[in-house]
Amino acid sequence: MSEPLLSGRVLLVSGGTQGVGGGIARAAVAEGATVVVTGRRTDVGEAFAESLGEAATFLACDVADVSQAQGVVATTIERHGRIDSLVNAAGLTSRGTLLDTTPALFDAHVAVNLRAPFFLMQAAVADMVRRGEPGTIVNVLTMSAHGGQPYLAPYVAAKAGLAGLTRNAAHAHRWDRVRINGVNIGWTQTEGEDAVQREFHGADDTWLQKANASQPMGQLGQVDDAAALVVLLLSDRSGVVTGSVIDWDQQVVGGQD
């Protein structure tokens, strides 16, 4: 029997209490990692961490606040002695077009979708470099970063910035053996997506059935499948790859019918 992919690793997952982040946390625990998950809702976060067993703990954090974001990295290191891996999965998806986005909405997207990952990576990489040990980071991105929908203008702007940051940081720290990659997640079936469809698109109880039927593979992306790819990228099994931003979707960018 082969050793679990993340055996002995200490992993921090921002936004790790539900959706894709939650799936990554579950998969990482199953692969032997000690996992710290963050989120804004203490009741949800503590219940989720408890469901994962003794290998998981929850830290309340609003990643839009840089001091809180870097604070959870510091607490992780204090409790476990180090941080080996980081996943930036926290995200804001509220709607806005080029014409109706306010400065406040734009700043909120930048704060959660770009600034938070920047400073979480800063704190995590600093520990890896200080110890002289390798590390891995995966940033959860979006297929919309290629251009996206008109109603996601500030979201796209921030996530496209994160794609560039992923490559920049990977290049900067490759000689430190810190591998940093990103995954552009396509349309995926999550609790959050259900809420978004109902709140912003007037969806009813049949939306998922219709959405599945509209996809080439007959279903939306599944959280566990996305999580498996992220865990692979966090592990030694992905080899030397760094600076890659992988499209995880059934739509092909640039393809035309």
CB neighbours of 156 closer than 8 A, spacing ≥ 6?
Answer: 142, 144, 145, 147, 148, 149
- 224-227 contact pairs (CB < 8 A, 24+): 224/23, 224/26, 224/27, 226/20, 226/23, 226/24, 226/183, 226/185, 226/188, 227/20, 227/23, 227/24, 227/26, 227/27, 227/28
DSSP states of 15-64: TTTSHHHHHHHHHHHHTT-EEEEEES-HHHHHHHHHHH-TTEEEEE--TT
**Is 155 an annotated catalytic residue?**
yes
Q: Of 25, 138, 146, 155, which residue is the catalytic one?
A: 155
Positions marked catalytic: 155
